[in-house]
Structures are given as C-alpha cells and as structure tokens.
Amino acid sequence: MKRGLTSFHLAILALGFGFLYVPIALVVLYSFNASRLVTVWGGFSTQWYVSLLANEALLQAASVSLRVALAAAALSTVLGTCAAFALQRFGRFPARSLFAGLVYAPLVMPEVIIGLAMLLLFVGLGMDRGFWTIVAGHTTLGLCFVAVVVQARLSGFDRALEEAAQDLGASPARTFRAITLPLILPAMLAGFLLAFTISLDDFVIASFTSGPGSTTLPMRIYSQVRLGLTPEINAISTLLIGFVGVALLVASVVNRLRAPSQAQ
Amino acid sequence: MSARAPLSHLRRLVLAAPLLWLLMFFLAPFVWVLKIALSKSALSQPPYEPVLSFSDSWAVWGEKIASLSFETFDLVITDDLYLAAYLSSLRLAAIATLLTLLIAFPLAYAMTRAPKHWRAALVMLAIAPFWTSFLIRIYAWIMLLKDEGLINKALLSLGLIHMPLSMFATETAVLIGIVYSYLPFMILPLYSALERQDPALLEAASDLGATPLKAFWRITVPLARPGILAGLLLVFIPAVGEFVIPDLLGGSDTLMIGRSLWSEFFDNRDWPTASAVAVLLLALLLVPLMIYERQQVTGTQP
C-alpha cells in the first residue's frame, strides 16, 4: 500500500467536494438569472438584487437577525471561553461530568426540542418574547460551539510558556494578558464567527422564541421558500454566502498571522 | 488563570457563569416541558391548564400527583399516526446516517492521503458548507430536485429520460437532504481518527503478507472505530428530530416526528401534546445521547 494520492483518491475528492459545492454554486449562478422562473435561464441580470433593496420586510428581518447574531455571538464568546477554561484547566472538580454533559448536549439535541423547551420556560416565567429571548436561545447553542473550539486550542497549547512568564515574575493577571489571551484569541475569534453564523442561520429556535416584531431573516426566507422558488431567494442567499465566505477568509488569515508556529 | 490556588474564587466565577446559564436555559426548560406535557390543553392564552404549580405546598403536590393528567401521553402512545411518525423518523435517520458514513469514509480517507500542505485547506473546505445557511442548502436541493428542476432539465435535454422523474416531495429527497446537510459532521471525526493512524502499521501488515483490502479491514477500520461512532451519533441524533428537511423536501406523506411536534405546536396550538411528543422523542434518543455524552465527556478529560 503506497502513501500519497492516487488518481482514485483524486476522483473521490473531486466527487465528494463536487457534491458539497455544486448545489451552492448553482444557487449563486441562478441569482443572476434574468428570468422570473428560477430554473429557466433567461440571460444575465442583477435585477433581483435591486428588487431585494425594495423588499422592506426582508430588510427589516435582516436587521433583526444581524443584531441578534451580534449580541448572541458576543455573549457566547464570553461564556464559551469560560466554559472551555473550566473544562480544560480546572481538573476534576465536582459536577464536572454534569457540566461537560450540559456543554456537549446542545450540539446534537434536535432543535425542535430546544426551541419548544425554551419557549415553555419563557412563557412559564412570564417573559415577553422578542429580541432578547431569541438572543438567549442562540447564546445557549453558540456558547457550546465556542467552548469546543477554544478548548481544542487550550489543549494543544504549551503550558511551559505560562510557567516561564510566572517564573520571571509576572502576576497571574499579567501572564493571562501577555501569554494566554494572545494565544487563544484566534480560537475565540473563530468561535465568535461560528456563533454569529449559527445565530444568523437558525430558523427553528428563532421560530419558537421570537415574538411579534422580531421576525428574523431565516424565518422570512423560510416562508418565502414554502411559497415556491423565486430568484429573490437566490439573491439573498448569494449575499449570505458571500458574507460568510469573507468572514471565513478573514478568520483563516488572522489565524495564520497570529499563530504561525502553533502546529509545533 | 494559572494553576495556583489564590485565584480559586475567580475560577469559581469562570465556572459559574456558563454553568448557571446552561442550567437556566438548557436544563430547567426540560422541567417545564414535562410539566406542560402533564397538563390538559385549554383554549386560553397560553393554551394549557397546568395541573402542577410550583407554588403549591408539598401536601397539595401529593394529591395532585395522584390526579396528574397523562391523557396527552395516552393520546400520543395510542395514536397510530404518532407511532408511524416515530418509526419512520428512526428509519429515515438510520438510512441517511449509513449513507452519510458510506460517502464520508472514502472522502475522509482520501483527505488523509493528500499532501500535508493541502490537508488544512481540505478540512476547511469540508467544514465550510456547515457555515453557510442550512435553509439555503435545502433550497438548493429544491431547485435541483423539482419536476421542473435542474436535474430533470439536464436529463431531459440529454435525452436520457422523456418524462421528468418525480424526486421532489419524496422520502428520497429527504434522505438526500439529510446526507447533504450532515456530511461535514461525519467527515470531521472520521478524518481526525484516520489522520492519527501510523502508516507503519499498514506497511507492517503488508510485509506480513496481508492484501491491501485485508489490511484495510483489519487495521484501518478498527482503528477508526471511535471516529465512526462519533460521526454516526453526530448525524443520527439530530436527524431523528429534524424538522426543516422533511418539511421542505418531503411530501405530505413523509412522516417525521419533528414535523408532528411542529404542527401540534404551531398549527393545532396544542402545547401539552407537543410537549408530550418532545418528551417521548427525548426518551427515544436517550440511549444514543448517553453513549454520545460518555464519549465526549471522557474523551475530553484533561
């Protein structure tokens, strides 16, 4: 058995990544379709992007989604980083299993269950549903993803650097600022972006936890998709894909700049 | 954040913040689900009549527990439609999970064979679809699978078929949707399990006379078992409760329990029944969830 890529492996890679990317590429391509029928090519046009700008309801929903995502990602990053430290650095404290279980469960729990459970809690507590209840829902999911990402960084991290700083007389707070924080910052940024996109993307939890006047973008897109294909959905999808693509590119460049020797 | 003792009150705070958040917003809500599931439905706002109230004294609780309303559970358990929906969710999720494994395994394997400097980029490429909107990815498949969709258009113009194939609004479409959406969750654990393997083991096996196929079955697959298990659980558990995929790609006859829960809640406004469905769905997933939790919690012990 030889190492390296054979043409068989290359074919598998091409097929696999083709399966993942061709459908997304087609959504983007057909957003520039002049025809009103999505699957009939009628020449190149950017008219659907123009008509997006006139769609008040969609713009309103986009603004709600962006604000929710910012708030949820910020909260998730703080709470998730704390959770990562507790899991990675605090040894076997009492209730560690419960805590770890709580951090990992939302990653796989069906969203309809999380959404319904949260809604019933909010109703039970007599809280008005709206902006902040969606933020709470998304933060619960986001903090778990941030915890996983930051924990992975912490576990591959040379503690000798921190010890050296302390041996040289740095206080724990100074050590944290000068050594620990710069080393985990790329992971925190990646976690922030992940929590942001998860929130921006979530439809199920938002549907349960939103109230009047706080319709999010995915809720709007969903109700349009149910009515049928329209080129406008392709256009808004393309914008979202571009947005995420740029964010991912920025994250990977930052990661490379900040941690050139992390692999060692 | 050092290993030394003086910061222990700070540590307590660092632990308390996420712990309290998860207790409040993740664990506590399940208590409410159980409470509502044991209530009677009512035409009021909110639409249920609680049987249990947390302000009751303990003496009253004893009496009330005796008179708890299990009628929602009765309804859900005895109604054939729910049973069919549970079974069909399990079946579709199981088939889709196996298909995902069959596609992801060769892909992850080929990724580990790529030159080292490619691998980070390939991993990035495998994760990136997870970052693009779930709804958009499902929408893409509506575009492809509809009767007047792109696949039928292409096949018709190539002369391979004369009538459009009906793929949209079928169980096949739901399976494709699940496989496509959850593929990254399967690729990642498989890739990290396969990448860790020492190639010297395969060389040793072939030196000892094993054929490549035999070496693959006796060495590569058994060593990848933790990754396979993780991938299976990461796909299967959420797929059983999936709502968006069967709703947008499935037909009106595609039964899945996430969809039943949704329509009880949003269309029928029957909160107690929706809660009972959620409790039973959770019960159904209890065993895979426990295996998953054990694997994650022990796998990340510092």
pLDDT at B108: 95
| Residue A212, SS3 per DSSP | coil
Residue of A nearest to B118 (CA): A5
Domain residue ranges of chain B, discontinuous segments joined by +: 76-299
- Four-residue CA torsion sign, B269, B273, B275, B281: negative
Q: Count CB atoms within 10 A of the CB of residue B268.
A: 12
pLDDT of residue A14: 94
Beta bridge partners, B41, equal B48
* Residue type present at position B82: Y
Quote the percentage of chain B above a pLDDT of 90: 44
Q: Give the DSSP letter of residue B133.
A: -
Asked if the model's pLDDT at residue B56 lies above 90, the reply is: no
Residue A68 C-alpha, separation from nearest chain B C-alpha, in angstroms: 16
- The C-alpha of A236 sits at a distance from chain B's nearest C-alpha, in angstroms, of 9
Tokens of B174: 């739901």
Alpha carbons B114 and A17: distance in angstroms, whole number: 14
Nearest chain B Cα distance for residue A79, angstroms: 5
Q: B199 CB near a chain A CB, below 8 Å?
A: yes
Q: What angle do CA A100, A101, A103 make, to 5 degrees?
A: 65
Read off the pLDDT of each residue in A163-186 and give the average, rounded to a whole number: 87
Mean pLDDT value across chain B: 86
- Whether B270 has a pLDDT exceeding 60, the answer reads yes
By three-state DSSP, how is residue B48 classified? strand
With 80 as the cut, is the pLDDT of residue A202 above it? Answer: yes
Averaged over A162-176, what is the pLDDT? 86
- DSSP code per residue over A63-117: HHHHHHHHHHHHHHHHHHHHHHHHHHHS-S-TTHHHHHHHHHHHHHS-HHHHHHH
Please name the residue that has the structure tokens 């993803």: A145
On the question of pLDDT at B195 being above 80, the answer is: yes
Torsion of the alpha carbons at A89, A93, A98 and A103, rounded to the nearest 10: -10
Round to whole Å and give the CA distance between B56 and B68.
14
Q: Which of residues 202-241 of B touch A (CB under 8 A)?
A: 202-203, 206, 212, 215, 233-234, 237-238, 240-241
Structural domains of chain A sorted by starting position, each given as residue range(s) with its CATH number in brackets: 54-258 (1.10.3720.10)
Mean predicted confidence (pLDDT) in A11-31: 93
* Rounded distance between C-alpha atoms, residue B106 and residue B261, angstroms: 36
Compute the average pLDDT of residues A199-207. Answer: 94
pLDDT digits (tens, 9 = 90+) for A90-138: 887 888 888 999 999 999 999 999 999 999 999 888 888 999 999 999 9
CB A138 within 8 A of CB A198: yes
Of B32, B243, B302, the CB nearest to A112: B243
Mutate: best of B13, B24, B113, B271, partner A, most A CBs <10 A: B113
B101-126 mean pLDDT:
91
Which residues from B are below 8 Å from A218, CB to CB? 133, 135
Indicate the pLDDT class of residue A226, thresholds 50, 70 and 90. confident
Looking at this predicted complex, what is its ipTM? 0.88
Span B76-299 CATH architecture: Orthogonal Bundle (1.10)
Mutation for B interface: A92, A111, A113, A151, most B CBs within 10 A: A113
Say yes or no for a CB contact (<8 Å) between B300 and A151: yes
Phi and psi of A33, rounded to 5°? -85, 130
Residue A153: both structure tokens together:
């960084």
